[in-house]
């Protein structure tokens, strides 16, 4: 009986077109596993584990849940491309027209990353709220997978991007420490430049000079989220991509007043720092390059 129910659930997934969509994602399953650290839906594993259990009530609940999730997931997959790419540009950008929009940043962080609250196995699989949470986690994972799949078509390499992102991380932090607003402008988006310029201005009222150093190699860099922002409903290729990265590094910091006295930090001590930065790039503008578009508080 359990084997027949497992085959029925598998047929639901085949009817929903998941095989076709999985072929489109190709080799991105390994990448997605770093974005969402929650267990994936695997109906066969659930049925197998429940078959070993002697509790018939739990088996009935799991089968009912799997059928419901299969139906809901098939509805989502039919609209994944639209949900992943559709996002409105700021009103001013829309009024300027498609040609000029290609030169701008959307000016927002689309769906900013936030840590997900941990839930127990029983709550996830045997409660309605757990099923909804599982569905949301799958949607978040698929959005990131689709964004990376589209990015790879433009020659994206994770290792190459991580190196470029780390170079930007060092460069921007060094420019901030030196108060170099002119050089900083080309490495960040317009909105981010305004925020950093104000940050430098406020800091200079307290500290006259800052020493900053990054200890290499860094401890960890990982991708937390990937999102596409469409600017033209009639052309899904006109999109910006945003990648949210976590940097776990050791740094040295020291601040001085106008007389050169140390007022904060100690450059002889290494400090563990965790930063979450969002990098952005246009996928339709020739010569586009990665820039910092936001920082997320940790």
CA 157 centroid distance within chain: 16
For 252-280, write each residue's pLDDT tens digit. Answer: 999 999 999 999 999 999 999 999 999 99
How high is the mean pLDDT of the chain?
Answer: 76
133 within a domain of the structure (yes/no): yes
102 within a domain of the structure (yes/no): no
Q: What pLDDT is recorded for position 81?
A: 37
Q: What pLDDT is recorded for position 196?
A: 97
238 and 131 in a single domain? The answer is: no
CA 215 centroid distance within chain: 25
106 within a domain of the structure (yes/no): no
176 and 44 in a single domain? The answer is: no
For 217-253, write each residue's pLDDT tens digit. Answer: 999 999 999 999 998 888 888 999 999 999 999 999 9
Q: What pLDDT is recorded for position 71?
A: 39
In degrees, rounded to 5, the angle at the alpha carbon of residue 128 between the alpha carbons of residues 124 and 130 is 20
174 within a domain of the structure (yes/no): yes
Q: What pLDDT is recorded for position 208?
A: 93
Q: Comparing 32-46, 165-179, 196-210, which segment has the lowest mean pLDDT?
A: 32-46
Q: What pLDDT is recorded for position 133?
A: 95
177 within a domain of the structure (yes/no): yes
61 and 170 in a single domain? The answer is: no
Q: Are 34 and 246 spatial neighbours (Cβ–Cβ below 8 Å)?
A: no
What average pLDDT does the segment 43-58 reach?
Answer: 38
93 within a domain of the structure (yes/no): no
For 139-189, write each residue's pLDDT tens digit. Answer: 999 999 999 999 999 999 999 999 999 999 999 999 999 999 999 999 999
Q: Pull the structure tokens for residue 277.
A: 């930065």
What average pLDDT does the segment 79-84 reach?
Answer: 37
141 and 175 in a single domain? The answer is: no
92 within a domain of the structure (yes/no): no
91 within a domain of the structure (yes/no): no
30 and 167 in a single domain? The answer is: no
221 and 238 in a single domain? The answer is: yes
65 and 164 in a single domain? The answer is: no
207 and 237 in a single domain? The answer is: yes
Range of the domain at 46: 2-84+111-152
Q: What pLDDT is recorded for position 190?
A: 94
Q: What pLDDT is recorded for position 91?
A: 53
What average pLDDT does the segment 2-29 reach?
Answer: 42
């Amino acid at each position: 009986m359990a084997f027949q129910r497992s085959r029925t659930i598998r047929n639901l997934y085949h009817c929903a077109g998941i095989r076709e969509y999985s072929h489109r994602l190709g080799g991105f399953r390994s990448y997605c596993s770093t974005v969402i650290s929650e267990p994936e839906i695997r109906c066969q594993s659930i049925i197998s584990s429940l078959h070993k259990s002697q509790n018939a009530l739990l088996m009935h609940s799991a089968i009912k849940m799997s059928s419901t999730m299969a139906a809901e997931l098939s509805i989502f997959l039919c609209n994944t491309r639209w949900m992943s790419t559709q996002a409105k540009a700021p009103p001013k950008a829309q009024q300027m027209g498609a040609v000029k929009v290609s030169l701008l940043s959307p000016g927002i962080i689309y769906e900013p990353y936030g840590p997900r609250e941990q839930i127990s196995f029983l709550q996830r699989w045997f409660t309605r709220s757990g099923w909804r949470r599982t569905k949301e986690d799958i949607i978040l994972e698929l959005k990131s997978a689709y964004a990376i799949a589209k990015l790879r078509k433009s020659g994206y390499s994770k290792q190459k991007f991580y190196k470029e992102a780390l170079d930007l991380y060092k460069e921007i932090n060094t420019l901030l420490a030196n108060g170099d607003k002119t050089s900083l402008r080309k490495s960040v988006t317009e909105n981010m430049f305004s925020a950093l310029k104000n940050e430098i201005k406020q800091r200079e009222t307290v500290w006259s000079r800052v020493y900053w150093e990054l200890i290499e190699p860094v401890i960890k860099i990982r991708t937390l989220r990937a999102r596409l922002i469409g600017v033209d409903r009639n052309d899904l290729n006109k999109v910006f991509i945003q990648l949210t990265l976590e940097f776990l590094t050791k740094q040295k910091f020291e601040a001085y007043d106008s007389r050169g006295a140390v007022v904060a930090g100690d450059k002889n001590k290494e400090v563990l720092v965790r930063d979450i930065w969002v990098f952005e790039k246009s996928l339709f503008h020739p010569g586009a390059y990665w820039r910092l578009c936001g920082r997320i508080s940790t």
